[in-house]
Amino acid sequence: MASGYLITGGLHLDGLMDTFDGIFAGKKKCLKAMKDSKVGSFGVQALVFITLIQIACILKIQNLIIFVLPICLFWGRFSNLFFIEKFKYMSYKKKSISHKKFWNGFKKESLISIIFLLIFITYQFVSITSQAILIKFLILILFGIFISYSIPNILGNKIGGFNGDACGASVVLVETAMLFMHAILL
């Protein structure tokens, strides 16, 4: 967990905290709360809760983390493709560059990710020897698709669009949900 925080500079966690502060500030004050450099109580609670869930999941998964973590990271980042496709960009800055400006549509933007996913699924189908493991694998794939779509959808509807903070929150929430499912099914 710490290595991920160091690599990203805590960017996604900051987005998580700002997004939760914004959601609980209400529609009218949402962007103002997200912009505020001070972290509010809901942001701190979200950080503590998510961190505790991630630690518990990692303790449960233990040695399999090397296989599980890349899958969780994939779905976390893939979720932002749904976010950008479905919602308008919201900014509290006067001059801001949106991902939408360079957006080529979901099909083109997700092509490489989908090819990677299909290769991974094919490899798993060939290498899985147990029917029980195959069922767990299929559940995790379907859950990954579902949660990668659902979380950005919920966040986008709550804040009325997307921005960098909400994208960071989506990454953290989807990764945590996937970690949690792996911990339950393993």
Residue 139 pLDDT grade (very low, low, confident, very high; cuts 50, 70, 90): very high
Q: Which residues contact 4 (CB under 8 A, 6 or more apart)?
A: none
Q: What is the pLDDT of residue 110?
A: 93
Q: Which residue segment(s) compose the domain that 171 sits in?
A: 2-185
Question: Global pTM?
Answer: 0.91
* Residues 17-34: tens digit of each pLDDT: 999 999 999 888 998 899
Here the tokens at position 23 are 């959601």
DSSP string, 42-66: HHHHHHHHHHHHHHHHHHHHGGGHH
* Residues 26-75: tens digit of each pLDDT: 888 998 899 888 999 999 999 999 999 999 999 999 988 888 888 999 99
Chain centroid to CA 9: 16
Number of domains in the chain: 1
CA distance 134 to 127: 10
Confidence check: pLDDT of 150 > 90: yes
Hey, how many other C-beta atoms are within 10 angstroms of the C-beta on 1?
Answer: 12
CA distance 150 to 82: 9
Beta bridge partners of 162: 89
